[in-house]
Structure 1
Amino acid sequence: MTPFLDAYFARIDFAGKPDVSIDTLRSLHALHNAAIPFENLDVVLPREIELTDEAIFNKLVVARRGGYCFEQNGLFERVLREIGFNVRSLLGRVVLSNPAQMPPRTHRVLLVTLDDQQWLADVGFGGQTLTAPVRLAANIEQETPHGLYRLQPAGTDWILQFRHHEKWQSMYQLEIGPQYQADFVMGNFHSAHWPQSHFRHHLLMCRHFTDGSKLTLTNFHFTWWKAGQVIKEIVAPDARSLHGLLQEHFGQGADHPQYGFSADALEVTMSRFNLHEEGR
């Protein structure tokens, strides 16, 4: 075991003995989703998001913050590789909003090869993120703790879909070919700096718990979900209350000298957003 893995396992509360198996992959995937929130706080503060191993580790593990796909799946790839998994990152084009034109490659996801079987692992897609790996196989409905998913071939690419209101909704289209660090740097920069990026216009967070429930945040609006149904909602009355609720409900580390965030900084940032906007 390495110091990096020890720190990561403590962060997600993993107490087992990791091996290169589907059981370990499933366990780590679920615990990661529950412990490390998806969030874009650094984009709206605004701060630069660095993708070095050291920066991702210090932010998500040491400082107990969350992050979005480039950070989340970057950390998870490193974890799996140090355990001994055959894993590499892919890039996808997010089509959740049914865009009129094919969007750029702005979603990082992992391909794991295990006993000659390929699995898709993704701990960084916000409210609809996978909470278990799914086999890279065509048109097979696959159950996860938080919903039903399937993969469809699209030429040499694959499209991940989830079941929503009795219909299949496409999430992203994946390219299976080789990807390079420069590709992730470019996708990260576009996500954080493109004026029309939704990450620049809303504070977004999500945690998927191991009991099948999840907690989402859009700006000031917290929503608890289970089995696709809303079970509770809270609207933070102001940014200073929000600062405390982010620590309480998302476990956000606020005190780290580099990656923490003050109530004053959050208040300035949130003054740009609508207090009453509903989140899902």
Structure 2
Amino acid sequence: MFDIDRYFEHLGYTGGRERSADNLRELHKKHMMTVPFDNSRNAPKGLAIWDDVDAGVDAFHEALIVEGRGGICHEHSGLFRGALLELGYDVSIVSAGVRGANDQFGPDLEHMMNVVRLDGEQWLVDVGFAGPSFIEPVRISPEVQSQYGFDYRVVESGDYLVLERRTRAKDWHAVYRFTLTERKLTEWKAIASGENDDPVWHWAGEMIAAGTLIYGRAYDNGQLLLVGRRYLRAEDGQEHVRVLAKTDEYQAVIRNVLLQDA
């Protein structure tokens, strides 16, 4: 069963429980620092990663908090959404298509996150994106918002809103695009069951099934991301990337990201 006290204890969250932007920011950051992204259990599943999308907050709490494992987007999103709903926040599920290496966006249901409406503003809340992205929620606004040396904004592009990020050394680039259309978990279940026969999903599933492992976690002023052997550390507005050729170094980084050797 989901236990918000145990969840807070696991995160080391001692902030208030009233609805506020400050509490939302702190809780978001604590989750990202404490519960890692880890697709190693799901990488071989292909489109079957969506089979348990509706497993519920109790199941996600058991896996990520009680068992102390990392998870993927819908597990993180579902757990965090359950906590916010218990605290009385106004939360909805939205989806995004992630920008790929070719600068093209994936399908609209490629990624799951949440939107929180609070004091007349809308906040993009996403604790389940491997990154690098943002550590604290981002207001859905074209106004530039800075976090730990990185800048963020949400701009309109045709029928979509696009989350953009900027390092100190580079211009703006898109992270993903989304709409504010509220999504239902049954939409992802349709993908898992094959009812959604968009060939893009088959291509994406094959890529996932190829076994690329992804690990990610935030720390106090930055983020760690390991995609295959490519290791990225984002800190103070800068990104440092290297390839981990040695197996012992690769394993050490995984342990660090998963908080097993931090």
TM-score by length of 1: 0.76
Contact 1:220 1:236 in 2 (8 A): no
1:137-174 superposed Cα distances (whole Å, 9 cap, x missing partner): 2x211112362111111344311111144211111111
Q: Which residue of 2 aligns with 1:218?
A: 227
**CA drift at 1:218:** 2.8
**CA drift at 1:36:** 0.7
**CA drift at 1:226:** 2.0
Is structure 2 residue 251 aligned with structure 1 residue 251? no
CA distance in 1, matches of 2:255, 2:79: 21
Q: Which residue of 2 aligns with 1:149?
A: 152
Equivalences, count: 247
Tell me: CA distance 1:247–1:153, structure 2 relative to 1, closer, same or farther (3 Å): same
Contact 1:26 1:133 in 2 (8 A): yes
Q: Which residue of 2 aligns with 1:72?
A: 76
Tell me: CA distance 1:192–1:4, structure 2 relative to 1, closer, same or farther (3 Å): farther
**CA drift at 1:55:** 2.4
**CA drift at 1:83:** 0.6
Contact 1:130 1:144 in 2 (8 A): yes
Is structure 2 residue 43 aligned with structure 1 residue 44? yes
Q: Which residue of 2 aligns with 1:261?
A: none
**CA drift at 1:237:** 2.1
TM-score by length of 2: 0.81
Q: Which residue of 1 aligns with 2:174?
A: 170
Tell me: CA distance 1:188–1:13, structure 2 relative to 1, closer, same or farther (3 Å): farther
Greater CA deviation, 11-20 or 139-148?
A: 139-148
Q: Which residue of 1 aligns with 2:27?
A: 28
Q: Which residue of 1 aligns with 2:128?
A: 124
Whichever residue aligns with residue 150 of structure 2, its letter is: G
Q: Which residue of 2 aligns with 1:195?
A: 206
1:170-226 superposed Cα distances (whole Å, 9 cap, x missing partner): 1111121231111233567859971034x744211111112x132222335655442
Ranges in structure 1 where 5+ consecutive residues have no aligned partner: 254-280
Whichever residue aligns with residue 213 of structure 1, its letter is: G
Contact 1:213 1:226 in 2 (8 A): yes
Contact 2:44 2:210 in 1 (8 A): no
Q: Which residue of 2 aligns with 1:184?
A: 188
Is structure 2 residue 143 aligned with structure 1 residue 140? yes
Q: Which residue of 1 aligns with 2:18?
A: 19
- Taking only the aligned residue pairs, the percentage that are identical comes to 25
Q: Which residue of 2 aligns with 1:106?
A: 110
Cα root mean square deviation, aligned? 3.1
CA distance in 2, matches of 1:111, 1:191: 28
CA distance in 2, matches of 1:130, 1:124: 11
Ranges in structure 2 where 5+ consecutive residues have no aligned partner: 194-200
**CA drift at 1:61:** 1.1
Contact 1:105 1:187 in 2 (8 A): no
Tell me: CA distance 1:191–1:162, structure 2 relative to 1, closer, same or farther (3 Å): farther
Contact 1:221 1:236 in 2 (8 A): no
**CA drift at 1:93:** 1.2
CA distance in 1, matches of 2:33, 2:86: 21
**CA drift at 1:235:** 5.3
| 3-state SS of 2:113 partner | strand
CA distance in 1, matches of 2:202, 2:241: 31
CA distance in 1, matches of 2:260, 2:64: 10
CA distance in 2, matches of 1:188, 1:3: 25
Greater CA deviation, 47-56 or 226-235?
A: 226-235
CA distance in 2, matches of 1:184, 1:252: 32
Contact 2:95 2:111 in 1 (8 A): yes
CA distance in 2, matches of 1:81, 1:100: 34
